Amino acid sequence: MTVILELEHVVKRFGGLVATNDMSFEVAKGESVGLIGPNGAGKTTIFSLIMGEHKADSGSIRLHGEELTKLATHKRIRRGVARTYQVPRPFADMDVLANIEVGLMPDSIMAMIFTAPADEEARAIARSVGLNDADLHRDPAELSMGDLRKLELARTLATKPEVMLLDEVFAGLTAGEIEQISGLLNEKRQEGMTYVIVSHDLRSLEPLIDRAIAMTQGTFVCQGDYATVMSDEAVRMAYLGH
Amino acid sequence: MSTQITWKHLALWALFLGGMALLPMLVGKGTLRTIIFANYLAIFAMSWDVLSGRTGYISFGHPFLIGIGAYTTAILSYRFDVPVGISIPVAVIVTMAAGTLFFLPALRIKGTYFALVTLAFMELMYQLVQVIRPDLTGGTRGISGVQTLTRGAVNGYYLSLALMGVIAISLWAMMKTRLGTALSAIGMNEEAVEGSGLNTTKLKLFAFMVGAGVAGIGGAFYVHYLGSIAPRALFDINFLFTIIVAALIGGASTIIGPMAGAFFLTFLLEYLRPFLPGAERYFIYGSIALILYMYEPKGLYEILRKARERLTGANA
Ligand SMILES: Nc1ncnc2c1ncn2[C@@H]1O[C@H](COP(=O)(O)OP(=O)(O)OP(=O)(O)O)[C@@H](O)[C@H]1O
Ligand SMILES: [Mg+2]
């Protein structure tokens, strides 16, 4: 087992609130981990810390053993980690194809000016997440929640991550859409993708993960396979209230 | 989005600039001088749009950049007899350096605060020009007798048209590339651009330098057209708003938009002049701009585009 992502004693405070309280965990290459906890537990904050959108107050976050905490967000993306957002916020005045193309751009001004947009690659990614060709020239405002989540996945996949952090991928989706996205995630997993998945929809989450990590109030509670974690006394208290 | 440059585009540009080139045969010298101002205003509005229209970092200090370009070349050529072939490029480079200074607040602040800080730049410049070395800047009076590059309205017009044409086509071609897409994306959701693996700091800095460079070119050539520089007219809130309103009512994030807006405003102001010689004009034009903006926030460009769609749609 090779560890790809590790958090060690990560702390994040928002004023007096400790949103991340000494969190440590590891994710192995090719593994799929569910991060669960009640509202406000600090799941999204952990994603923001890994991506560098928030700066950790202390602790260490490593990808392939390399310390990320000093790196700007765009550099972390290039190291192979990317996230989706709980509330999709696409580029509103660009069509679906252009949205995906932003994720495919080289990070060099000269290359941006002198290379053509990667239309074909963007199309292929759009198809791979189940977006229809007819949607490619739509504006995001015209998309259903399901298609917005697919676009979010496509934009993230465009950066060619090895580790994907998925925040509430199933929220607002129909049963059919959930099935479709689950199928898609499983497919990528066969190809070796590593996931950390946050979802309140535990039933849909369960078949997608090898292991669950439970947290509440910024603090680690327990981890193990799904059944073990869900039968843990503390988890039931924090998560289900009984 | 990612539409490629086609012959049709180039033909339209040629038609537009060719048509403009015929104007001196059709209109009088007075109108021509008005159009010269419109051409320079179009340059300023395009430069504002690169810097602010795309990235969403609204600058209220644009006259600061234009002023740096104008003063640099005016002082060099008038006080030190530097040939304009050197003083103008130097002015542009100095303005680009000032654009970097402008950029510093954008690293930390956004929105209203950024606008206010840039406004402070303009105000500061206005004060400094009067206090620091008035023997060079001419203090409140400014400088007159600056060398002019052209003689007569017709030549002045052709120079301004050439400048505007070259700048418009260059910016247009640049914004058609992936770079233009990335800059517009910053205006929509900066975090997501960074989250796509792009260095937004670098992109913003580039936009600021290009915007400042164009402002510097415009400011430098404009002062060599007028032959004088007056700080009161330059570092003026009305001048600032004319630039911003031209870009906004024309259609920010486009090239044609700021140009159309500049012409619309210039002629509006000009036609109002006989009726309202004073500052009330700005009230009227402000109101018209506001109504237009509320009717179509994407500006004249969008109104024309929709009209065309309706027409071609009706034909089909
Ligand atoms: N930028 C911020 N400033 C201040 N407090 C914040 C900020 N972001 C999050 N918090 C607080 O940190 C805590 C953890 O929030 P977070 O969004 O990480 O929880 P979550 O587990 O993702 O919750 P949910 O399931 O509702 O999405 C909450 O109490 C939240 O109010
Ligand atoms: Mg959350």
Pocket residue to mutate for ligand 1, from A43, A50, A87, A168, most atoms within 8 A of Cβ: A43
Ligand 1 site: residues with CB under 6 angstroms?
Answer: A 14, 17, 19, 37, 39-45, 86
Q: Measured in angstroms, how far is the CA atom of residue A199 from the centroid of ligand 2?
A: 9
A82 — contact with chain B (CB < 8 Å)?
A: yes
CA distance B298 to chain A (A): 11
Residues making up chain A, counted from first to last: 242
Share of chain A above pLDDT 90, in %: 81
A88 — contact with chain B (CB < 8 Å)?
A: no
Q: What is the pTM of this model?
A: 0.89
Residue whose C-alpha is closest to residue A123's, from A91, A156, A98, A92: A98
Measure Cα distances from B21 to B27, B35, B214, B222 in Å. 11, 12, 22, 19
Per-residue pLDDT tens over the stretch A180-222 = 999 999 999 999 999 999 999 999 999 999 999 999 999 999 9
Residue whose C-alpha is closest to residue A185's, from A153, A162, A211: A153
What is the Cα gyration radius of chain A?
Answer: 18
CB-based contact B213:B43 (threshold 8 Å): no
CB-based contact A44:A198 (threshold 8 Å): yes
CB-based contact B152:B160 (threshold 8 Å): no
pLDDT the model gives residue B123: 87
User: Both tokens of residue A91?
Assistant: 């580029």
Query: In the sheet that A219-224 helps form, which strands lie side by side, from edge to edge?
Result: A81-83, A163-167, A194-198, A32-36, A211-216, A219-224
CA distance B51 to chain A (A): 16
pLDDT the model gives residue A242: 59
Domain residue spans in chain B?
29-234
Tell me the pLDDT of chain B (316 aa) as tens digits. Answer: 445 778 888 898 999 999 999 999 898 888 999 999 999 999 999 999 998 888 888 888 899 999 999 999 999 999 999 999 999 999 999 999 998 888 888 888 877 888 888 888 888 888 888 888 888 888 888 898 889 898 888 999 999 999 999 999 999 999 999 999 999 999 999 999 999 999 999 999 999 999 999 999 999 999 999 999 998 888 888 889 889 888 888 887 788 888 988 998 888 888 887 787 777 777 877 788 778 777 777 778 788 778 877 877 654 3
User: Both tokens of residue B84?
Assistant: 């304009």
The average pLDDT across A163-187 equals 92
Burial group, residue B4, by CB count within 10 angstroms (0-12, 13-18, 19+) = exposed
Burial group, residue B217, by CB count within 10 angstroms (0-12, 13-18, 19+) = buried
Ion ligand 2 residues within 5 Å by Cβ: A 44, 86
ipTM of the complex: 0.91
Measure Cα distances from A159 to A74, A107, B191, B288 in Å. 10, 11, 14, 45
Burial group, residue B305, by CB count within 10 angstroms (0-12, 13-18, 19+) = middle
Q: Measured in angstroms, how far is the CA atom of residue B202 from the centroid of ligand 1?
A: 30
Chain A CB contacts of B192 below 8 Å? 89-91, 102, 155
Q: Identify the three-state secondary structure at position B120.
A: helix
User: Both tokens of residue B243?
Assistant: 């630039």
Residue nearest ligand 1's atom 1 by CA: A14
Q: Roughly how many angstroms between the first and final C-alpha of chain B, as a whole number? A: 23
Per-residue pLDDT tens over the stretch A117-146 = 999 999 999 998 989 999 999 999 999 988
pLDDT the model gives residue B314: 53
pLDDT the model gives residue B104: 86
Share of chain A above pLDDT 70, in %: 99
The average pLDDT across A162-173 equals 93
Residue nearest ligand 1's atom 23 by CA: A40
Nearest to B188 among A92, A113, A155 (CB): A92
pLDDT the model gives residue B276: 77
Paired residues of A11 in beta bridges: A58
**Which atom of ligand 1 sits closest to the CA of residue A43?**
21
Closest-approaching ligand to the CA atom of A48: 1
DSSP letter string, B171-211: HHHHHHSHHHHHHHHHHH-HHHHHTTT--HHHHHHHHHHHH
State how far the Cα of A4 lies from the Cα of A28, in Å rounded to an integer. 5
pLDDT the model gives residue B232: 86
Locate the chain A residue with the closest alpha carbon to B187: A91
Looking up tokens 């490029």 gives: B89
Residue nearest ligand 1's atom 5 by CA: A14
